[in-house]
Amino acid sequence: MPLYLVATPIGNLEDITLRALRVLKEVSLIACEDTRHTRKLLDHFGIQKPTISYHEHNEQDRAQELTARLSQGESIALVTDAGTPGVSDPAYRLVGAALEHDIQVIPIPGATALIAGLIASGLPTDAFLFAGFLPAKRNARREKLEAVRYVRETLIFYEAPHRIRETLMEAQAVLGNRQASLARELTKLHEQFLRGTLAEISLTLQVQEPRGEITLVIAGASEHGEQPLPAHESLTTQLEQLINSGTSRNDALKQLAKRRGLSKKEAYRLLLEEKGNAENQ
């Protein structure tokens, strides 16, 4: 029997499709990222089907178990907590195992935050690169941004609210002060879009507490647009170069902040941070 990859709403329950509801009612078993979360969705639509957990902590063993059940004739629907299975979640392991056993895999398309965030961003949609969640650790996050700094397509990331301010600051430093769109709580009651340059969005979030799930869309690299500063040079090095060229320290700091898309205060804070890191090495 088939493995169905069923997209569920990312917020607004009206975004589930009629086909998704039919499949969820017909399958033998529903595999969920969080069974308690999915049970709320199923109860809302009056669907009484057994559920089983399938998430990043049990995916290897559970994928084998679910594949065996599929081979024995059960039909299974795989759902994530919100959106489309396989997008920034471990669905691919089960899909791969099913295909290896010649089990049919059927996608049931629906909502996904990356597409919703992209089409309302105001940025080009003809080609894009979805890079998923950025790493939690700062150095790894900067490396990921470095890897896409020359990509011409529109960039799309997922980010956690407690890291978004730092991510915006680092994106400015690595990519330059590009046009961007930050979407939070997509399709939900408090849905919000912040559009503008990375610096403008950062400034807004200095006075506004970022909450909820975030989709960050950033313009791709352009030959004619603002270019990022050399990533291998520290702020301290760049400041010294400006001072050595005859610029006063105060004016050099202003220029550096402008080129980075930062406030003067934020640029100064980063300089102090660099100095502290250097002294601790």
Report the predicted TM-score, pTM, of the whole model to 2 decimal places. 0.78
Q: Residue ranges of the domains in the chain? A: 3-111, 114-218, 235-280
Contact 181, 117 (CB under 8 A): yes
> What's the whole-number mean pLDDT along residues 40-67?
94
Residues constituting the chain:
281
d(CA 92, CA 89): 8
For residue 232, pLDDT over 60 is answered with no
The domain 114-218: what is its CATH number? Answer: 3.30.950.10
Per-residue pLDDT tens digits for 186-208: 999 999 999 999 989 998 998 88
For 40, counting Cβ atoms within 10 Å of its Cβ (0-12 exposed, 13-18 middle, 19+ buried), the class is: exposed
d(CA 58, CA 52): 11
Q: Which of 22-36, 100-114, 206-220 has the lowest mean pLDDT?
A: 206-220
For residue 109, pLDDT over 90 is answered with yes
d(CA 2, CA 29): 11
* CATH 3.40.50.10740 for the 3-111 domain, yes or no: no
**Percent of the chain with pLDDT strictly greater than 90:** 68
- pLDDT value at position 281? 59
Positive or negative torsion for Cα 225, 228, 230, 231: negative
d(CA 160, CA 134): 9
Contact 207, 165 (CB under 8 A): no
- pLDDT value at position 260? 64
- Give the helix ranges, DSSP H, for the chain: 18-26, 35-44, 59-71, 91-100, 113-119, 138-147, 164-175, 198-207, 235-244, 249-260, 264-280
- pLDDT value at position 171? 94
- Fold match between 3-111 and 114-218? no
More confident residue, 157 or 236: 157
Per-residue pLDDT tens digits for 128-172: 999 999 999 989 999 999 999 999 999 999 999 999 999 999 999
Positive or negative torsion for Cα 59, 61, 67, 69: negative
- pLDDT value at position 238? 76
